[in-house]
Amino acid sequence: MPRKPQKTDSDQAKMNKSSEKNASHKSIQTYWDALSHNERVRVICGLVLWTVTFLVSVSVISFFLTGKEDASLVELIHTERLSQMPSFHNWLGLPGAVVSRAIIDGCFGLFSILFLVMGTVYGLKIINPKVNVHGLKLFFCSAFLMLWGAIACGFVQLFVGEELYFRLGGAFGNWVATLGTNYMHAFCMGVLIVMTLVIFLIIADKHFVEKVQYMWQRMICSLHRRKQDESVAVQGEPDDNQGAITIKLDVTGNRDTPEANTDENKTAEGVTIEIVGNDQPETPETKNNEVTPEPEVEPQNPVLDITTPTKETIQGEAIHEPVEDMGPYDPRKDLENYQFPPLSLLKVYDNETAPVIDPEEQQANANRIVQTLRNYDVEIESIKATVGPTVTLYEVVPKAGTRISKIQSLENDIMLSLSAIGIRIIAPMPGKGTVGIEVPNEKPQVVSMHSVIASKRFQEESKMKLPVAIGRTITNEVFTFDLAKTPHLLVAGATGQGKSVGLNAIIASLIYKKHPAELKFVLVDPKMVEFSIYKPLIRHYMAAMPDQEDRDIIITDCQKVINTLNSLVIEMEDRYSLLADANCRNLEDYNDKFNSRHLNPTKDVENVVTHKILHHKFMPYLVIVIDEYGDFIMQAGKEVERPIQRIAQKARAVGMHMILATQRPDVKIVTGTIKANIPTRIAFRTQSVVDSRTVLDAKGADQLIGKGDMLYSGGGNLTRIQCAFIDTPEVEALVEHVSQQQHFLEPYQLPEYVPEGQEDTVQPGSVDTKRLDPMFADVARYVVSKQEGSTSRLQRAFEIGYNRAGKLSDQLEAVGIVGPNKGPKGRDVLIQDLESLEQLLQQYGCN
């Protein structure tokens, strides 16, 4: 057995030295953070910077007035003793003369004044960090202007050749200008200087080009007006009717030239509309009798003055259009490198795009149907077969005078003659004058998930908000529906009939079509094995409550289901509050308005029920999938049914859609309220006709053949579909691909729900310090330095969700940093200085 390598003394010394270095660095960082958040330190630093800037400004101003007399004296500083030097004329004496000459003549010339501008602005920024000044942008713009201005001034002085007591571009500008003119022509040097400034202005100001275009158009228009005024002055005063313009529009499409307004202009070919505009004031005479120009007088065409309109408010202030500045908001921007799953992850079956037709089988079945009907004195005129993946539809046209109810009563006799598992008679076929008889195929065909996802109908679908490709109909067409318009779905069927596969097909369809930023799932699985495969998608497609562990992202416990459903109800109410504030009726309109940047994400929106402060944001669709919800109904009854009913009744408009699945479709599970609010239902094979009627309000589900054979009820019609088959390895491959993609830092956060009786306020010292938020220390320093304990302020400052910000506020209250919540007024900060805060943080082990 190999021996474990032992650490030498030198290795131990290196480790000790490294740990000491890290500790020292950490202590310096902590000290620096404490100083930067100390208001007194900031004021002192700002005042020092202002004082230095003021003194230098005085010396520079004096330099322009007395610098010429001091120029020769400054040169004698190194050769003469200070005691023998004559007095300087600069207002600050010798230091002012030296400093001002070094800044102006020794650096960047006249543009060195920008140093003083930066000193003044940065001093203000240090004292009051709330000042809306972008420090980095100010630095780079000032630096460029100093460099460019020094070169331009040096070039001008070099070109003009005028001698001054200082260099206009300073030492730097004079050096660059001299170097440039030695290697190129002065004209080229001037062009480069001008173009460099233009490029800088284009980069610094997004609207620079628009402003130049606007000024150019104004100049052209002014020149046109000047020419027009000159022509009017030469021609004299215009006639009374010279300002009248008559434009004739013919409905037939003919456009006539301006001419007199007479009744003869009304032709039989079309209606002529005349638009008369006269610059002369309206009088009673002209109101009753219009004045028209003489036919021989040709009116002058006025010069068209086109001015680019500017958007203004009623008060005259320019309207701010954020879309023009930043462009529309893209919800996919955070995960812009996300790659949708490829079709190669799904299994391809033989003949998956077309059913296998056996003419002998279809002909034999048709003969048996005809013979059975004749045995009971039912004659038919024709019969037609449509072959589907698992079922063939035979459409018969009975002779006149045949009662359809007689054909329906022969369902069992036809089943016996065909030796079929189950047949379904549709009498009559909707929209047709036929009776349909659905007969299972002897060799059913597998409808693969690949065939429906790769279909042109699904791939090119763009109108549906939540498109779902569920399978193929009897006519072998891919069947799709929009879950957003459903708006909720009830899935029922006996055990082993394909219900779980159908749910996986729905989830897979949505993952193939929707980006993680646009869709979130809440998966509930009491059996703990159906949805566990989707756990790796926690930071892509999952929504979770605060403090929910990653391993519990698939909800299995009944009490957690109750809490999650009530949390979803709170989420629904929060979304309605945001929609109401935005004057939107549904989630699509709201997100469009947010993406066009017509909603302010920093605006406080209060939920009138909970008094919680919300902020506008892009809201993804929420799809809640509850497998075997009947188990939860049996365990908790109304505690589960009540929030389900509220979500089913109201959640459609805010983009929340629920899918309920059960294998026990009795009236205790599928209640009247559930059915009333979930009109769209899917029924796999049921055990009895009673269960079929409970789910679909019609029989037929009991005659399905199983293995994905289902009936879809939506819009008042029943459609028989063979559900697409997606196997476990395919789901695993799909999940593996998505889990390897770029993801969010945490799941989509649902609101916190506190059960009744557990609303006790947080008491100081009751928080487990081992579970404090990782951002707790930084948030505490921020709150104390700003003396503001608002939860919404924490959201904006640290760019976190409301739930996490609320949790941090509770922890701050628990350790005694802030007081209790006062609603919209926020919380009182109980600690006034950072020194006391650091002592408190050390007690709780926070550095």
- Tens of pLDDT, residues 290-332: 544 444 444 444 544 444 444 443 344 444 455 556 788 999 9
342 pLDDT above the threshold of 90? yes
Per the prediction, the chain carries an average pLDDT of 79
Give the CB-side neighbour count of residue 353, counting CA atoms within 13 A: 5
**pTM for the predicted model, two decimal places:** 0.57
Rounded to an integer, the average pLDDT of 571-592 is: 94
pLDDT attached to residue 458 = 93
Cis peptide bond N-terminal to 295, omega within 30: no
Is it the case that residue 19 has pLDDT exceeding 70?
no
Both ends of the chain: CA-CA distance in Å?
43
Provide the pLDDT for residue 39: 76
What gap in Å lies between CA 746 and CA 540, rounded to an integer? Answer: 8
Query: Per residue, what are the HEC states of 403-423?
Result: CHHHHHCCHHHHHHHHCCCCC
Cα–Cα distance, 434 to 443 (Å, whole number) = 26
Contact at 8 Å (CB) between 792 and 842? no
Choose the weakest-confidence range: 272-286, 288-302, 314-328, 355-369.
Answer: 272-286
Closest CA to 424 of 400, 391, 447: 391
Question: Is residue 612 packed enough to be buried (19+ CB in 10 Å), middle (13-18) or exposed (0-12)?
Answer: buried
CA-CA distance, 220 to 211, in Å (whole number)?
14
The region, left, alpha or beta by phi > 0 then psi within -120 to 50, assigned to residue 508 is: alpha
What per-residue confidence (pLDDT) applies to 225?
65
From residue 277, alpha-carbon distances to 244, 292, 309, 336, 562 in Å are 6, 11, 22, 55, 72
Give the pLDDT confidence score for residue 166 in this predicted structure.
Answer: 84
Q: Which of 6-20, 406-420, 466-480 has the lowest mean pLDDT?
A: 6-20
Q: Are 423 and 703 in contact (CB under 8 A)?
A: yes
238 has a pLDDT exceeding 70? no
Q: What integer pLDDT is reported at residue 307 of this predicted model?
A: 44
DSSP 690-728: HHHHHHHSSS-GGG--STTEEEEEETTEEEEEEEPB--H
Amino acid identity, residue 630? G
pLDDT digits (tens, 9 = 90+) for 46-94: 899 889 999 999 988 988 888 888 777 766 665 555 555 667 778 888 8
Amino acid, res. 668: K
Extract the tokens encoding 616. Answer: 């506008």
The DSSP element (H or E) to which 684 belongs, if any, is: strand 680-684
Tokens of residue 281, six digits: 């004031």
Find residue 829's DSSP bridge partners. Answer: 818
Amino acid residing at 377: D
Q: Give the other-Cβ count within 10 Å of 552's Cβ.
A: 14
Mean pLDDT across 433-453: 89
Q: At 618, list the tokens.
A: 């892009």
Q: How many residues in total does the chain contain?
A: 847
How far is it, in rounded angstroms, from Cα 760 to Cα 830? Answer: 21
**529 pLDDT higher than 90:** no
pLDDT beyond 80 at 28:
no
Taking CA atoms, 724 is separated from 41, 352, 713, 731, in Å, by 69, 11, 17, 13
With a CB cutoff of 8 Å and minimum separation 6, the contacts of 659 are: 483, 488, 489, 491, 503, 506, 623, 624, 625, 626
Is the pLDDT at 751 greater than 70? The verdict is yes
Cα separation, 35 vs 499, in Å, equals 63
Alpha-carbon Rg for the chain, nearest whole angstrom, is: 41
CA-CA-CA-CA torsion sign (55, 61, 65, 71)? positive
pLDDT higher than threshold 70 for residue 121: yes
Highest mean pLDDT among 9-18, 362-371, 600-609: 362-371
Report the sign of the C-alpha dihedral through residues 409, 412, 416, 422, in that order: positive
Q: Which of 99-103, 248-252, 288-292, 732-736 has the lowest mean pLDDT?
A: 248-252
Is 547 within 8 Å of 734 (Cβ atoms)?
no
Dihedral sign, CA of 727, 741, 465, 354? negative
| Spatial separation of the C-alpha atoms in residues 335 and 515, rounded to whole Å | 9
The segment with the largest mean pLDDT, out of 76-80, 249-253, 491-495, is: 491-495
DSSP letter (8 states) at residue 113: G
**pLDDT score, position 769:** 58
* pLDDT value for 32: 55
For residues 212 and 573, the model is more confident at 573
CB 710 within 8 A of CB 493: yes
Contact 364, 385 (CB under 8 A): no
